[in-house]
Structure 1
Amino acid sequence: MSNRKVEAAVEAVAAPLAEARGLVLLDVEYQREGRRWFLRCVVDRPGGVTMDECAAFSEALDPVLEGVAGLDEDVVVEVMSPGLDRTLRNDREFAWFRGREVEVTTYRPVEGRRHFLGRLEGLEDGAVVVTDAEGSHRIPRDAVAKARLHVRI
């Protein structure tokens, strides 16, 4: 079974569990590193999530994962918060972090540039919308090389 199918199966059981705990499941990643398989679940809630909430969710998730086809029986499960400078990987994250400052780098020039720093307005018709001092920019999703939360220090 492909990693994507395993991630989708985990998401199907983990998202309702997260919701019941007042959390939002933002991302699921299943990948092999060396000889071990890792399952990483990123959860959040308005105001942020604590380490204790991540640990409690991980404990609740363990028995539910036993029924997921294709999941390695010795998988290492990691539940974490998105972090301050999270790289946005999926549409759910682009929606969840709407209103936050982001840094977007593109594969090719968009509007004559390859770097955008501004407020994330979300996704609209397959484009990441970012607003900065120069206005609103529609960056085609397939042109985005990397998008991450930006933290000013």
Structure 2
Amino acid sequence: MTGKATEISELLAPTVAALGLELLGVEFAPTGNSALLRIYIDAPGRHVAIEDCEAVSREVSAVLDVEDPITSAYTLEVSSPGIDRPLFTPAQFARFVGEQAKLTLRLAQDGRRRFIARITGVEGDVVLLSHEAGDMRVKHDNIEKARLVPDLVALGLAAQPKPTGPRGKRKADKES
């Protein structure tokens, strides 16, 4: 998260927690005379409902009006994490060890800024990853953006890949 996103996240976390929800993270994207403020929330033990997003939007808007941390006009969006959940903190990476994530780094590492890797662990503020070129250690503050890569087959949203092997007829077909 950017400095402004971190500031806003710290400001809003208690308000979101008071609603029984978790503030996962904040994206703040200024563009010219306006900005986009996207807040990701989670509902521990259940799916985020539209009513959760509406309640957070109402309460957060009131806090933002009073505290006024954004000087320009902005659009507020409150969102569930979705199946391609964004990852904002080392603790969130630790929660998804074994999963694949798509990452964009602030500074290139091993000659790359963008890659897909399996999260293998977290040591303090260092995220441990494994990808096709090998294992790597990335300081959390070098991660610009990270999202889980959903396993669409496991979610039942894609067909099971067909087994690859020698082409030809199945054994049962050959015997007939």
Fold shared per TM-score above 0.5 = yes
Maintained 8 Å contact 1:41/1:79: yes
Q: How much does 1:127 deviate?
A: 2.1
Maintained 8 Å contact 1:130/1:138: yes
SS of match in other structure, 1:67: helix
Distance 2:47 2:120 in 1: 20
Q: 1:143 to 1:42 in 2, by over 3 A?
A: closer
Maintained 8 Å contact 2:90/2:126: no
**Aligned pairs (5 A) from 1:11-90:** 11-46=9-44, 47-72=46-71, 74-90=73-89
Q: Does 1:108 align with 2:109?
A: yes
SS of match in other structure, 2:128: strand
Distance 1:4 1:94 in 2: 20
Q: CA RMSD in A?
A: 3.4
Q: Which has the higher contact order (CA 8 A, sep 6+)?
A: 1
Distance 1:143 1:31 in 2: 18
Q: How much does 1:17 deviate?
A: 1.2
What whole-Å deviation, never above 9, does each CA across 1:115-143 have from its counterpart, x for those lacking one?
5643x4552133213479xxxx5522267
Maintained 8 Å contact 1:102/1:147: no
Maintained 8 Å contact 2:35/2:72: no
Q: 1:14 to 1:31 in 2, by over 3 A?
A: same
TM-score by length of 2: 0.62
* Structure whose residues are more often strand by fraction: 1
Gaps of 5+ in 1: none
SS of match in other structure, 2:8: helix
Maintained 8 Å contact 2:90/2:125: no
Percent identity between the two aligned chains: 29
TM-score by length of 1: 0.69
Distance 1:75 1:143 in 2: 27
What whole-Å deviation, never above 9, does each CA across 1:74-104 have from its counterpart, x for those lacking one?
3211111122113434435324x43461235
- Counterpart AA for 1:125: G
Q: 1:71 to 1:116 in 2, by over 3 A?
A: closer
Range with greater deviation from structure 2 (45-54 or 16-25)? 45-54
Gaps of 5+ in 2: 153-176
Q: How much does 1:144 deviate?
A: 5.4
